[in-house]
């Protein structure tokens, strides 16, 4: 057998085994997107309830709370970037990191020092490779986040926010994650979480009745706001995980399609090579017979 | 008779929702009962048992682990960090 054919056979074999892996990963991602979206859905009543309560309390103008106050001259901002732990999800992590980079540049332009907080192994690798510093990193199970992790992150960030600026505290808190818009569209977005953007007065104020607070408005707000931040982070984590899976599914789909295309191409080449070999053997035989007959 | 529209949610799932005659819960200042027509209130929950008396059927009990609840024109939202329906 000709060397050429053997090479093509090997390529076809390895491409089809890769294709099997891509197909399997695509199927896994597809089955898990549904679950991730269900979880995001299940967490939304909590997020809605807490948002309603926070805006109800915060719209009462006589309350001043650390978490809603704007610092006169913000000098330091924390940015939490959410990426995936594993690759093979196309440009998912890259896009989130790019969004974070542009936000960082913008904040620097405004004269703020940026403190990065990372979520996901890909973000950590990105920062480690460039030998940049970061305040903290959380890795592991980005594709199925749990509440405990969100609480931990929330607590860390709120603590840092509550520290006075002179002691290394931050004045602002931003969140960069990938919004799940549809199965084919996921957009990296950046939001400011703290200080809260509370709408004062306006038509919105009408919607909330005058609540009584027990024990007091300050204490209620003290307990509410960290929970609100946690819930925001948790919903972002859930949405990011759905986006990650959708990105992975799409990446694996196109990888499997490309593998198909390669297999087709190599099969053609292999057939060509085989045919050429047969033709050559035939012509050698005929030439040999001819020379025997004529001698 | 007026009814309460009750919703109990934990951080990652909805626990219970429906119409009820009364809700009893433990706030950090003591037990609190809510009947239809209660004034709007936002209060912090402490660890303890939450009892909901639905319009029909047996009382629903839930073990709540911190959180808060809001009452607003007969709409009761109980937002718990963690809540488990208990038997009985």
Tokens, residue A32: 């898990």
3-state secondary structure of B15: strand
∠ CA A170-A175-A180 to the nearest 5 degrees?
175
Q: What pLDDT score was predicted for residue A19?
A: 95
Q: Is B26 exposed, middle or buried (0-12, 13-18, 19+ CB in 10 A)?
A: middle
Residue A130 falls in which region: left (phi positive, over 0), alpha (psi -120 to 50) or beta: alpha
Average pLDDT over residues B43-60: 86
Q: Which residues contact B26 (CB under 8 A, 6 or more apart)?
A: B32, B45, B46, B47, B48, B49, B50, B64
Tokens linked to A160: 């840092």
Check residues A214 and A293 and name the one with the higher pLDDT: A293
As a whole number of angstroms, the distance between CA B5 and CA B69 comes to: 13
Name the residue in chain B with its Cα closest to that of A53: B70
- What length is written for chain A? 295
How far apart are the C-alpha atoms of A148 and A144, rounded to whole Å?
Answer: 12
Give the A window 111-150 contacts with B, CB below 8 Å.
Answer: 147
Range of the domain at B55: 4-86
Residues of A in contact with B10 (CB under 8 A): 46
Residues B44-60 have a mean pLDDT of 86
Beta bridge partners of residue A174, listed in sequence order:
A79, A192
Question: Does residue A148 sit in helix, strand or coil?
Answer: helix
The whole-number average pLDDT for the span B13-40 is 86
User: Between chains, do A43 and B81 touch, taking CB under 8 Å as contact?
Assistant: no
Which residue, A252, A250, A243, A256, is CA-closest to A33? A243
* Chain B residues closer than 8 Å to A45 by CB: 7, 9, 14
Q: A40: nearest CA in chain B?
A: B12
pLDDT score recorded for residue A63: 65
- For tokens 């936000």, the residue is A103
Sign (positive or negative) of CA dihedral A120, A80, A58, A225 = positive
- The pLDDT tens digits of the residues spanning B63-80 come to 888 888 888 888 888 888
Residue A209's pLDDT band (boundaries 50, 70, 90)? low
Number of domains in chain B: 1
How confident is the prediction for chain A on average, in pLDDT? 87
So what's the pLDDT on residue A147? 85
φ, ψ of residue B52 in degrees (nearest 5):
-115, 130
Closest by Cα among A99, A146, A97, A154 to A125: A97
A14 phi/psi in degrees, rounded to 5: -70, -35
For chain A, the structural domain boundaries read 27-250
Is the pLDDT score of A203 beyond 50? no
Residue A233 in this model has a pLDDT that exceeds 60:
yes
Q: Are A153 and A138 in contact (CB under 8 A)?
A: yes
Query: What are the strands of the beta sheet with A185-194, ordered from one edge?
Result: A136-138, A113-119, A76-82, A172-182, A185-194
Instruction: Tell me the C-alpha distance between A156 and A143, whole Å.
Output: 21
- The segment with the largest mean pLDDT, out of A180-194, A241-255, B45-59, is A241-255
Q: What is the DSSP letter of A90?
A: T
Look up residue B67 and give its two tokens. 């959180």
Q: What is residue A271's three-state secondary structure?
A: helix
| Closest chain A C-alpha to B11 CA, distance in angstroms | 6
Which residues in chain B have Cβ-Cβ distances shorter than 8 Å to A50?
A: 79
Kind of pairing between the strands at B60-64 and B48-54 = antiparallel
Query: What count of CB pairs under 8 Å joins A to B?
Result: 77
Q: Classify domain A27-250 at the CATH superfamily level.
A: ATP synthase, F1 complex, gamma subunit (3.40.1380.10)
Hey, are the CB atoms on B43 and A43 less than 8 Å from each other?
Answer: no
Residue A212 and residue B40: Cβ atoms within 8 Å?
A: yes
pLDDT tens track for A186-200:
999 998 887 776 554
Asked if pLDDT for residue A134 goes beyond 80, the answer is: yes
Q: Is the pLDDT of residue A11 over 90?
A: yes
Share in percent of chain B as helix, strand, coil (round to 5): 0, 70, 30
| Residue bearing tokens 């819930």 | A231
Q: How far apart are CA A66 and CA A221, in angstroms?
A: 10
Residues above pLDDT 90, as percent of chain A: 49
CA-nearest residue to B71 within chain A is A211
State the smallest CA–CA distance between residue A114 and chain B in angstroms: 30
A215 touches chain B (CB under 8 A): yes
Q: Name the minimum distance, in Å, from the CA of A210 to any CA of chain B.
A: 7
Q: What is the pLDDT of residue A206?
A: 47
Could you give the ipTM of this predicted complex? 0.80
Give the pLDDT score at A204.
Answer: 47
Contact of A227 with chain B, judged by CB distance below 8 Å, is answered with: yes
Taking the alpha carbons of A223, A225, A231, A233 in that order, is the dihedral positive or negative?
A: negative
The answer to whether A178 and A240 have CB atoms below 8 angstroms apart is yes
pLDDT at B30: 83
pLDDT confidence of A247, banded at 50, 70, 90?
Answer: very high
A44-85 pLDDT per residue, tens: 888 888 888 887 777 765 666 766 677 777 888 999 999 999
Confidence class for position A224, pLDDT limits 50, 70, 90: confident
End-to-end CA gap in chain B: 26
Helices A217-294 and A147-162, interaxial angle, to 10°? Answer: 120
Q: How far apart are CA A275 and CA A8, in angstroms?
A: 13
For chain A, give me the number of helices (H) and strands (E)?
Answer: 6, 6
A202 pLDDT more than 50: no
Indicate whether B18 pLDDT > 90.
Answer: no
């Amino acid at each position: 057998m000709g060397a050429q054919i053997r090479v093509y056979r090997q390529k076809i074999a390895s491409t089809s085994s890769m294709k099997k892996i891509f197909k399997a990963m695509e199927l896994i991602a597809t089955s898990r997107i549904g679950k991730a979206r269900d979880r995001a859905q299940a967490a939304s009543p909590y997020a809605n309830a807490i948002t309603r309560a926070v805006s109800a309390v915060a719209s009462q103008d006589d309350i001043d709370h650390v978490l809603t106050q704007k610092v006169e001259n913000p000098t330091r901002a924390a940015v939490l970037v959410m990426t995936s732990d594993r690759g093979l999800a196309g440009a998912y992590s890259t896009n989130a990191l790019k969004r974070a980079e542009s936000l960082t540049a913008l904040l620097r332009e405004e004269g703020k020092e940026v403190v990065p907080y990372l979520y996901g192994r890909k973000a950590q690798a990105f920062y480690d490779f460039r030998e940049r510093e970061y305040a903290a990193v959380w890795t592991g199970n980005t594709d199925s986040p749990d509440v405990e992790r969100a609480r931990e992150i929330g607590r860390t960030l709120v603590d840092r926010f509550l520290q006075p600026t002179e002691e290394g505290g931050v004045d602002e808190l931003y969140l960069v994650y990938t919004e799940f818009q549809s199965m084919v569209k996921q957009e990296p977005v950046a939001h400011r979480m703290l200080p809260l953007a509370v709408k004062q007065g306006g038509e919105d104020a009408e919607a909330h009745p005058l609540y009584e607070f027990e024990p007091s408005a300050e204490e209620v707000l003290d307990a509410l706001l960290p929970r609100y931040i946690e819930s925001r982070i948790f919903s972002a984590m859930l949405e990011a995980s759905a986006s990650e899976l959708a990105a992975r599914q799409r990446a694996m789909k196109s990888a499997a399609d490309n593998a198909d295309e390669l297999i087709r191409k190599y099969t053609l080449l292999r057939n060509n090579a085989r045919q050429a070999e047969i033709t050559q053997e035939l012509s050698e035989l005929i030439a040999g017979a001819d020379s025997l007959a004529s001698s | 008779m007026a009814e309460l529209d009750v919703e109990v949610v934990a951080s990652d799932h909805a626990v219970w929702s429906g119409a009820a005659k009364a809700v009893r819960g433990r706030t950090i200042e003591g037990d609190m009962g809510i009947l239809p027509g209660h004034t709007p209130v936002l209060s912090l929950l402490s660890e303890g048992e939450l009892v909901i008396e639905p319009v029909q059927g047996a009382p629903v009990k839930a073990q709540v682990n911190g959180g808060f609840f809001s009452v607003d024109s007969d709409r009761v939202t109980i937002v718990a960090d963690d809540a488990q329906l208990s038997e009985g």
